[in-house]
């Protein structure tokens, strides 16, 4: 495929994608297609390469019903989506924490002496972005999950699968439910957002956006 056709294919997927409020409950996403979507999330970039996410694919009807009580933005999606993902963000991403050491030295392959030399730049980064408080650090991790979410929804659209990102829920209640089911790693994670995937029940209205000139300014 030449570049122009590839660009058109990608833009067509962006025009296809919309926030699907209700899915066709009779249509299920093939397993290999959903694994492809998850893989695009796994391969997404993150600040400092920390990959501070986990994707809970909630197919259990009883758990979906529990979440539904406190997820007002997913009221219809939880009942109709083929696949429903609760996106978690990791807590405690501080320099020297066990997860950060393991991720950077074992997964990323940074030599330990090089990692030890990163202490001052890491401290400067945290100070510049005011990442001193626990909630600020969690919110920073949650920001990274949105990169993965965007990639997953775009990948889904490119193969004709609908999706809907969801923030309409009570975080404390969702965390409580997930923790009761042992899904937060003993406090290592907290809920960041949700995504529903499936096939649209009705065709959406035409996509509306600001013009490119309204959202772009070139500084030459």
3-state secondary structure of 39: helix
Question: Please, what's the largest Cα pairwise distance for the chain?
Answer: 57
Instruction: List pLDDT tens digits, range 155-174.
Output: 999 999 999 999 999 999 99
Q: Tell me the mean pLDDT in the region 102-110.
A: 96
pTM for the full predicted model: 0.96
- The Cα–Cα gap between 37 and 30 comes to 11
> What is residue 176's predicted lDDT score, i.e. its pLDDT?
98
Instruction: Look over the chain and give the mean of its residue pLDDT values, rounded to a whole number.
Output: 96
3-state secondary structure of 53: strand
| Cβ–Cβ < 8 Å for 22, 77 | yes
Q: Can you name the residues that pair with 164 across neighbouring β-strands?
A: 196
Structural domains of the chain in order of their starting residue, each with its CATH number:
20-215 (3.40.109.10)
- CA proximity to 99, closest of 56, 132, 137, 136: 137
pLDDT band at 152 (very low <50, low <70, confident <90, very high): very high
């Amino acid at each position: 495929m030449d570049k122009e056709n590839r660009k058109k294919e990608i833009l067509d997927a962006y025009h296809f994608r919309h926030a699907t409020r209700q899915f066709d409950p009779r249509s299920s996403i093939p397993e290999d297609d959903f694994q492809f979507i998850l893989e695009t999330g796994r391969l997404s970039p993150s600040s400092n390469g920390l990959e501070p996410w986990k994707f809970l694919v909630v197919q259990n009807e009883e758990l979906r019903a529990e979440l539904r009580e406190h997820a007002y933005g997913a009221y219809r999606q939880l009942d109709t989506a083929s696949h429903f993902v609760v996106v978690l963000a990791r807590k405690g991403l501080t320099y020297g924490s066990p997860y950060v050491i393991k991720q950077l030295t074992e997964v990323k392959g940074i030599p330990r002496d090089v990692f030890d030399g990163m202490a001052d730049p890491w401290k400067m980064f945290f100070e510049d972005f005011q990442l001193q408080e626990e909630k600020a650090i969690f919110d920073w991790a949650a920001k990274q999950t949105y990169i993965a979410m965007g990639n997953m929804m775009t990948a889904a659209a490119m193969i004709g699968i609908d999706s809907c990102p969801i923030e309409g829920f009570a975080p404390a209640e969702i965390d409580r439910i997930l923790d009761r089911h042992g899904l937060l790693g003993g406090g290592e994670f907290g809920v960041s957002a949700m995504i529903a995937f499936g096939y649209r029940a009705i065709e959406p209205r035409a996509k509306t956006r600001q013009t490119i000139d309204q959202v772009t300014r070139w500084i030459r």
